[in-house]
Structure 1
Amino acid sequence: MDFLGVDHVEFYVGDARQAAYLLCSGLGFRLYGQGGPETGLPGQRSLLLGQGDCRVLLTSGLTPDHPASRYVARHGDGVAVIAFGTRDATAAYAATVAGGATAVEPPRTYGGSVVTATVSGFGDVVHRLVERHGADDEFLPGVIEMLEVGPPTGRELVQGIDHAAVCVPDGQLDRTTRYYRRAFGFEVIFEEYIEVGGQGMFSQVVQSPGGGITLTLIQPDLSRSPGQIDDFLAWHDGPGVQHLALASRDIATAVDTMAERGIGFAFTPDGYYSALDGLPVDRLRERGILLDRDHWGELYQIFAASMHVRRTFFWELIERHGARTFGTSNIPALYEAKERELAR
């Protein structure tokens, strides 16, 4: 299947305007469009945010029986849709369903230039398959009204979505990996067993051909002490997206700017950087940014503190210099930092 990358991510939230304010004032997103009953979206209010090539749709239900309202009642605010860009949404829909995906919404055309179809993903998260033609400044013609947005006044802090991290219950990791291989043609590019104190978790990373879409799948090890993955599954009430990683060309500037705007970041002990002796690490140490490598290059990562009342979803920042996958040092260190945050 010909997947181009992550087209957008849709969150179901209790208050789209409040969620938009946090993302715009803290992370540097801007309001690109809006929709609701007056634009042909009955029972909901949606706001489209953008920064770089990253598009985030925030949707709140206006009635108790709207899918967004039911999602929020069960899970709290969270990712409900990860949309995959494709050159042929109808063909991708047929192929994924033939591969075992459940059909959710058949192909539908918006304004003659955008075609979407929706299939199952994991838990209550689905995948919208999106085919685009024509102007780049339209999102869903006819239902999302685009706003006049001028060029950014400063440097954009993020350019796109690098990957999504997904927590699944015990016994579902291999099954979920097989599903993405069979239905979407993804391949396993990385796997690791992660230890954080007395906790343990299994991780497998699946990626689309061409590398445009990456999902990190994580399952708790129930033979070890309960930990943050168990907490996520309990607080979120089932599998879901634990975090989204935003790609940045200058992670240090992004951290500084976001911190000035009130965004908190996970703390990393100074001892972590002693293992990086000989490298120019001062810029990383003072911000808590982690450094790792794979066979192709380096990557820098940091977790932001969760802004959600259930302390489930959070954002990550990542900057890659040649690295295509993940190294073996950062993932345990990232989750150790998150464990310290959750303990406060």
Structure 2
Amino acid sequence: MNIGAVDHVEFYVGDAQQAAFYLCTAFGFRVCGQAGPETGQPDQRSLLLRQGGITLVLTSALTPKHPVAEYVARHGDGVANIAFEVSDAAGAFATAVDRKAIVVEEPVTHQQGGNEVVTASVLGFGDVAHRFVQRTGDRADFLPGTMEVTEPEPAPDQPLLSTVDHAAICVPAGQLRPTVEFYERVFGFRQIFEEFIEVGEQAMDSKVVQSPSGHVTFTLIEPVTGRRPGQIDTFLASHGGAGVQHLALLTNDIVATVPALEARGVKFLNTPDAYYDELTARLGEPELRVADLRRTNVLVDQDHWGQVFQLFTQSPHVRKTFFWEVIDRHGARTFGSGNIKALYEAVARDETTA
């Protein structure tokens, strides 16, 4: 199937203009294109946002019975499509369907001038689809003939964020193993990490799958039945089923990026001082100064290859479902178990103070 990187992530939102304003103001994205009635799509409005190698599409319905309106009514604002870069979209689509994936959109060719983009979509988990994207020509022309590319305003600073590192996905109890098997069978992913996390009377199970290219990574999480309901249960109830809990965006200097984002208005989860008091005893001396980590609330963990530094935002949504992660990898290829538990505890604290 030859899946490369994440081509783009599409959000279905109640108000694309408002969502774009937040992401541009707080995270430094820039609007680079739009689609709607003027481009032959009378029932919806889409905005194209970019920063570094990250591409987001924000789509809103213009009519109450549009599928986007139905999605937002059911789930709130959230990720609706994680698109994969491929060399042959029609071939990847045919292979996925042959492997029992559910069809969302048959192959479509978008063409204008010398630029051509072929897309096709199949269902992934819950209501989230995967779009295969094959590009020929100028990659800046996102969907030739379908989306009007606009000249973005000059960025005042260098990009703070570079790529989509991974997506964290919550699935109902009992669906973790079948979802892993689905991604292995349909898309050729492989499991690279697993962890069982206990926090007090709550517990969750997690497995990480990754594309053969190593550029698409999904952390899959399910609650454990028979334990006290926790924040994974809360997400599933508030979101209305399986969905993307957070997207992780890569930075190359997290102790500089976090304060820069905070100055723009991004609110991050707090980390207790005790976490840093115990850090060197648990991991040894981290590659970044403990004082800088404490000042920025950044978490640190490690795997066999190196260390990973992470911090999670508060959810900006009324349902307190989707949120963002900023991540900085110093050689680490997977995830350490300590940060997963720390995230679980931090989100739980945020929910109790809401």
**TM-score in same-fold range (> 0.5):** yes
Match of 1:27 in 2: 27
Match of 2:58 in 1: 58
Match of 1:87 in 2: 87
Q: 1:132-211 to 2 correspondence within 5 Å?
A: 132-149=135-152, 152-211=155-214
Note the alpha carbon deviations across 1:237-261, whole angstroms, 9 max, x for none.
1110000001111112221011111
Letter in 2 for 1:29: F
Whole-Å separation in 1 of the counterparts to 2:210 and 2:183: 9
Letter in 1 for 2:233: D
Whole-Å separation in 2 of the counterparts to 1:152 and 1:85: 26
Tell me if 1:298 matches 2:303: no
Match of 2:128 among 119, 125, 130: 125
1:93–1:107: 8 Å Cα contact kept in structure 2?
yes
1:100–1:179: 8 Å Cα contact kept in structure 2?
no
Whole-Å separation in 2 of the counterparts to 1:66 and 1:272: 47
Match of 1:11 in 2: 11
Whole-Å separation in 2 of the counterparts to 1:259 and 1:198: 33
Gaps of 5+ in 2: none
Whole-Å separation in 2 of the counterparts to 1:190 and 1:100: 25
Match of 1:336 in 2: 345
Q: 1:223-302 to 2 correspondence within 5 Å?
A: 223-277=226-280, 278-279=285-286, 280-302=289-311
Whole-Å separation in 2 of the counterparts to 1:74 and 1:160: 29
Q: CA deviation at 1:308?
A: 0.3
Match of 1:67 in 2: 67
Whole-Å separation in 1 of the counterparts to 2:279 and 2:245: 28
Whole-Å separation in 1 of the counterparts to 2:62 and 2:152: 27
Whole-Å separation in 1 of the counterparts to 2:125 and 2:246: 15
Note the alpha carbon deviations across 1:305-333, whole angstroms, 9 max, x for none.
10001000000000111111111211101
Aligned to 1:329, the other structure's residue is in SS state helix
Q: CA deviation at 1:151?
A: 5.2
Match of 1:217 in 2: 220
1:83–1:130: 8 Å Cα contact kept in structure 2?
yes
RMSD of aligned alpha carbons:
1.0
Aligned to 2:326, the other structure's residue is in SS state strand
2:30–2:153: 8 Å Cα contact kept in structure 1?
no
Q: How many percent of aligned residue pairs carry the same amino acid? A: 57
Q: CA deviation at 1:276?
A: 2.4
- Structure 1 window deviating more from structure 2 (300-309 vs 251-260): it is 251-260
Q: 1:86-105 to 2 correspondence within 5 Å?
A: 86-105=86-105
Letter in 2 for 1:194: I
Q: CA deviation at 1:150?
A: 5.7
2:169–2:218: 8 Å Cα contact kept in structure 1?
yes
Whole-Å separation in 1 of the counterparts to 2:253 and 2:118: 34
Note the alpha carbon deviations across 1:99-154, whole angstroms, 9 max, x for none.
12111111111115111000010110000000111112110111111111365331
Whole-Å separation in 1 of the counterparts to 2:172 and 2:150: 41
Whole-Å separation in 2 of the counterparts to 1:92 and 1:241: 23
Gaps of 5+ in 1: none
Match of 1:324 in 2: 333
Letter in 1 for 2:309: Y
1:32–1:147: 8 Å Cα contact kept in structure 2?
yes
Whole-Å separation in 1 of the counterparts to 2:105 and 2:143: 15
Count of aligned pairs between the two proteins:
344
Q: CA deviation at 1:285?
A: 0.7
**TM-score by structure 1 length?**
0.98
Q: CA deviation at 1:275?
A: 2.6
Note the alpha carbon deviations across 1:244-301, whole angstroms, 9 max, x for none.
0011111122210111111110111111112323442111111110011111111100
Q: CA deviation at 1:339?
A: 1.0
Aligned to 1:204, the other structure's residue is in SS state strand
Q: CA deviation at 1:78?
A: 0.4
Aligned to 1:148, the other structure's residue is in SS state coil
Note the alpha carbon deviations across 1:41-93, whole angstroms, 9 max, x for none.
23000001010000010000000111110000110000000001101111110
Aligned to 1:69, the other structure's residue is in SS state helix
1:8–1:83: 8 Å Cα contact kept in structure 2?
yes
